[in-house]
Chains A and B, each alone.
Chain A
Amino acid sequence: MAPRRKEKLLGSAGLAGVVVGTLFGLSLLIPTLKADDDDVRHVLPATWNWTQDTQGPVCGVYAVCRALNLLEIAAHPEEMWNTKVVAHREGSSPLELIEAIEQYGGVGELRDSMSILELFAVARPVIANVRSNTARSLYDHWVCVCGTSDGLVVYDGSKPARRISPGEFLASFSGIGIVVDAGLDSRNRCMAARWIGFLIIVATAWLGLRWWAVEASASIARQFIRLLIVTVAVVLMAAWVFSTHEGLKQGYRIALAPYSTSDRVMQGGMATLEQASSSEDYLLVDARTAESFARGSLPRAVNIPVYASYYETREFTASLARTTPIVVFCESERCTYDDHVAHLLVQLGFQNVTVSLPGYREYVQSQLRLNAAVIE
Chain B
Amino acid sequence: MGRVAKVLEGMVGAALLYSGLNHLVNPFQFAAMMAAYELLPLPSLQYLSIALAGVMVSLGVALLSDTCADAAIRMALLAFVVFTSAQLFAVVSGKEISCGCFGYSNQPISLTSISIPVVLGVFSFASLVMRSRSSNAFKPNQRVREEGRCGFGQAK
Residue B71 is within 8 A (CB to CB) of chain A in the complex: yes
Whether B57 contacts A202 by the Cβ 8 Å rule is: yes
The CA-CA distance from A55 to B59 in the complex, in Å, is 42
Given contacts A217-B143, A227-B75, A260-B42, contact A234 B28 (CB under 8 A): no
The CA-CA distance from A201 to B31 in the complex, in Å, is 20
Which residues on the B side are within 8 Å of A243 (C-beta)? 27
Whether B46 contacts A223 by the Cβ 8 Å rule is: no
Bits for A137-170, please: 1 = Cβ < 8 Å to B, else 0.
Answer: 1010000000000000000000000000001001
| Selected contact of A176 from candidates B104, B148, B153, CB within 8 Å | B104
| B136 to A: closest C-beta gap in Å | 13
Which residues on the B side are within 8 Å of A259 (C-beta)? 32, 35-36, 38, 42
Name which of A170, A258, A259 has the most chain B CB atoms within 10 A of its CB.
A259
Residue A254 is within 8 A (CB to CB) of chain B in the complex: yes
Size class of the B contact interface (CB-based, 8 Å): 35 or more
Whether B151 contacts A211 by the Cβ 8 Å rule is: yes
Which residues on the B side are within 8 Å of A254 (C-beta)? 28
Whether B29 contacts A173 by the Cβ 8 Å rule is: yes
Which residues on the A side are within 8 Å of B6 (C-beta)? none
Which residues on the A side are within 8 Å of B36 (C-beta)? 137, 259
Residue B74 is within 8 A (CB to CB) of chain A in the complex: yes
Residue A113 is within 8 A (CB to CB) of chain B in the complex: yes
Give residues of chain B (103-151) contacting chain A, Cβ–Cβ below 8 Å: 103-104, 106, 135, 143, 146-151
Whether B28 contacts A231 by the Cβ 8 Å rule is: no
Residue A214 is within 8 A (CB to CB) of chain B in the complex: yes
| Selected contact of B71 from candidates A112, A176, A223, CB within 8 Å | A223
The CA-CA distance from A213 to B152 in the complex, in Å, is 5
Which residues on the B side are within 8 Å of A201 (C-beta)? 21, 24, 57
Bits for B80-109, please: 1 = Cβ < 8 Å to A, else 0.
Answer: 000000000000000000000001101000
Which residues on the B side are within 8 Å of A176 (C-beta)? 104
Whether B54 contacts A238 by the Cβ 8 Å rule is: yes
Whether A256 contacts B150 by the Cβ 8 Å rule is: no
Bits for B48-70, please: 1 = Cβ < 8 Å to A, else 0.
Answer: 00110111011111100101101
The CA-CA distance from A224 to B143 in the complex, in Å, is 20
| A180 to B: closest C-beta gap in Å | 21
The CA-CA distance from A217 to B69 in the complex, in Å, is 10
Name which of B51, B103, B146, B150 has the most chain A CB atoms within 10 A of its CB.
B150
The CA-CA distance from A254 to B27 in the complex, in Å, is 12
Whether B46 contacts A235 by the Cβ 8 Å rule is: no
Which residues on the A side are within 8 Å of B45 (C-beta)? 252, 256
Residue A48 is within 8 A (CB to CB) of chain B in the complex: no
Residue A335 is within 8 A (CB to CB) of chain B in the complex: no
Which residues on the B side are within 8 Å of A170 (C-beta)? 26, 28-29
The CA-CA distance from A223 to B75 in the complex, in Å, is 11
The CA-CA distance from A213 to B151 in the complex, in Å, is 5
Which residues on the A side are within 8 Å of B1 (C-beta)? none
Which residues on the B side are within 8 Å of A112 (C-beta)? 103-104
Q: Enumerate chain A interface residues (CB-CB to B < 8 A).
A: 112-116, 137, 139, 167, 170-171, 173-176, 197-198, 201-202, 205-206, 208-218, 220, 222-224, 226-227, 230-232, 234-235, 238-239, 242-243, 251-252, 254-256, 258-260
The 23 listed contacts between A and B (C-beta, < 8 Å) are A113-B22, A113-B104, A115-B26, A139-B104, A139-B106, A173-B26, A174-B104, A175-B103, A205-B61, A209-B67, A209-B150, A209-B151, A210-B67, A216-B68, A216-B150, A216-B153, A217-B135, A230-B62, A235-B54, A243-B27, A252-B31, A259-B42, A260-B35
Q: Enumerate chain B interface residues (CB-CB to A < 8 A).
A: 17, 21-22, 24-29, 31-32, 35-36, 38, 42, 45-46, 50-51, 53-55, 57-62, 65, 67-68, 70-72, 74-75, 103-104, 106, 135, 143, 146-156
